Amino acid sequence: RCENLVEVYFQLQQQVMAASTELGPELLPRLLERFNEVLSSLVKSSFLVEKQPPQVLKTQTKFQASVRFLLGPQLLKAAPKPYMVRADMVTEKQARELELSNYSNTLSESTGEILHNTVALETNPTSGNCCANFKNVLLKKIKRCERKGSESVTEEKCAVLFSTNVTLTPSNVSIHLQVLSLPIVVIVHGNQDNNAKATVLWDNAFSDIDRVPFVVAERVPWDKMCDTLNLKFMAEVQTTKGLLKEHYFFLAQKIFNDHSASPEDFQSRHVSWAQFNKEILPGRGFTFWQWFDGVLDLTKRCLKSYWSDRLIMGFISKQYVCKLLSMQPDGTFLLRFSDSEIGGVTIAYVMRGKDGSSQVENIQPFSAKDLSIRSLGDRIRDLGQLRNLYPNIP
């Protein structure tokens, strides 16, 4: 625990001072300087963001955050009045400069105007925690920096810098404390939310812990992307039923635009940020992430129980549907996510023509709005030609 390390520090310091005569005028100052460096490093590392600000942050919208000083109860108990913690927006460039200076530099200029951005650092008498709780913070405006190449505003990352100056007791040493939040994408319109979430997801999933802010790989192994999509799906939908191997195969065909490769072929591939959320899918008006996020939203809002009971095949191509259903009895159907629309689920079913040939039909996709008016179960019951859910569920 940090508190125990501080106790060890003060004990060692007392022992050194007691032996000051033996140590001599040359060694003693060097030891004391080193002691101050150790204390400063320990104190600075105990200043943490306890509650992160939203990673997609809309201007003119209130948000909450909190920082905690682990050593506060021990080192600030004799302070005459509470110290104030300040919250400022910083650009990626400013965050990088702070990191490279080991947080010895102070912020020269905030990149955005934050209201109610100064809060007292206080020790809670019940919990004993020393925290600064920002409860009604509001980002009034953001100053955009120059972007690189084709980078959009929803790819621009910044952060909140929390800082304060404290004087420690009993050593009476003044220390400047600073800590950065996780990367934040600032938006001004709700229609930017989807692309901003893509930037945050990519950064959270694929960045290294000890990185220069906020560097992240441009390409990642496909199997890591599969893990990320699966965790995101389960967390958003709040289900224990994740994606299956056949789902990953369909998603790989979609993002790589390759219908000739085998599942094994995709395992060695890397997927780029551009393929994830910059390049428009062939014949569509949206990116892979925009389509996938639409599926997340639809499933979360309207299809959670159907998915959790494995009644929705979901991630399957229209061509593979035809292959599965063509040999099935009339009226056999399955549920798949629409390829052509964002956030749609469609019913595919098989019927025999007069000549005995099978014909697979796809009903116009239902959106979340459609299913809020009439549920999927009711809509299935409305269609008399549907008899068995594939493979054979009446």
Structural domain contains residue 203: no
Is there a contact between 47 and 178 (Cβ–Cβ < 8 Å)?
Answer: yes
Q: 180, 11, 9: which is closest to 111 by C-alpha? A: 180
Q: Are residues 27 and 72 in the same domain?
A: no
The predicted pLDDT at position 238 comes to: 96
What is each CA distance from 263 to 148, 185, 222, 258, 289, in whole angstroms? 35, 34, 11, 11, 21
Task: Quote the pTM value.
Answer: 0.88
- Residue 146 CB contacts under 8 Å (≥ 6 apart), including other chains: none
Q: Are residues 52 and 27 in the same domain?
A: no
CATH of the domain at 267: 1.10.238.10
Structural domain contains residue 147: yes
What is each CA distance from 202 to 49, 55, 79, in whole angstroms? 21, 12, 43
The predicted pLDDT at position 72 comes to: 84
Q: What residues in the chain have per-residue pLDDT under 50?
A: none
List phi, psi (to 5°) of 5: -65, -40
Q: Are residues 2 and 17 in the same domain?
A: yes
Q: Are residues 226 and 289 in the same domain?
A: yes
Last residue of a domain, one of 134, 169, 189: 189
CATH of the domain at 146: 2.60.40.630
The predicted pLDDT at position 300 comes to: 97
Structural domain contains residue 297: yes
- Residue 253 CB contacts under 8 Å (≥ 6 apart), including other chains: 259, 261, 317
Q: Are residues 226 and 356 in the same domain?
A: yes
Identify the burial level of 18 via C-beta atoms within 10 angstroms of its C-beta, where 0-12 means exposed, 13-18 middle and 19 or more buried. exposed
Percent helix, strand, coil in the chain, to 5, is: 40, 25, 35
Q: What domain range includes position 30?
A: 1-44
Q: Are residues 226 and 375 in the same domain?
A: yes
Structural domain contains residue 200: no
89-114 burial code (b ≥16 CB/10 A, e <16): bbbbebbbebeeeebeeebeebbbeb
Q: What is the mean pLDDT of the chain?
A: 90
Question: How many domains is the chain built from?
Answer: 3
The predicted pLDDT at position 4 comes to: 67
Structural domain contains residue 19: yes
- DSSP string covering 69-137: ETTHHHHSTT-SSPEEEEEEEEEHHHHHHHHHTTT-S--S--SEEEES-EEEEEE-TTT--EEEEEEEE
The predicted pLDDT at position 9 comes to: 67
As separate numbers, helices (DSSP H) first and strands (DSSP E) second, the chain gives: 14, 17
Q: Are residues 266 and 120 in the same domain?
A: no
The predicted pLDDT at position 99 comes to: 84
Q: Are residues 78 and 92 in the same domain?
A: yes
Q: Are residues 116 and 21 in the same domain?
A: no
The predicted pLDDT at position 232 comes to: 98
The predicted pLDDT at position 32 comes to: 73
Q: Are residues 257 and 363 in the same domain?
A: yes
The predicted pLDDT at position 100 comes to: 80
d(CA 313, CA 55): 32
What is each CA distance from 50 to 53, 118, 126, in whole angstroms? 10, 16, 17
> Taking the mean position of all CA atoms in its chain, how far away is CA 111?
22
pLDDT per position as a tens digit, 66-95: 999 998 887 777 677 889 999 999 999 999
Structural domain contains residue 394: no
Place of tokens 């022992």: 15
Q: Are residues 265 and 345 in the same domain?
A: yes
> Taking the mean position of all CA atoms in its chain, how far away is CA 201?
4
Q: Are residues 243 and 373 in the same domain?
A: yes
Q: Encoding tokens for residue 67?
A: 């920082």
List phi, psi (to 5°) of 101: -90, 5
HEC sequence for 286-343 = CCHHHHHHHHHHHHHHHHHHHHHCCCCCECCCHHHHHHHHCCCCCCEEEEEECCCCCC
Structural domain contains residue 199: no
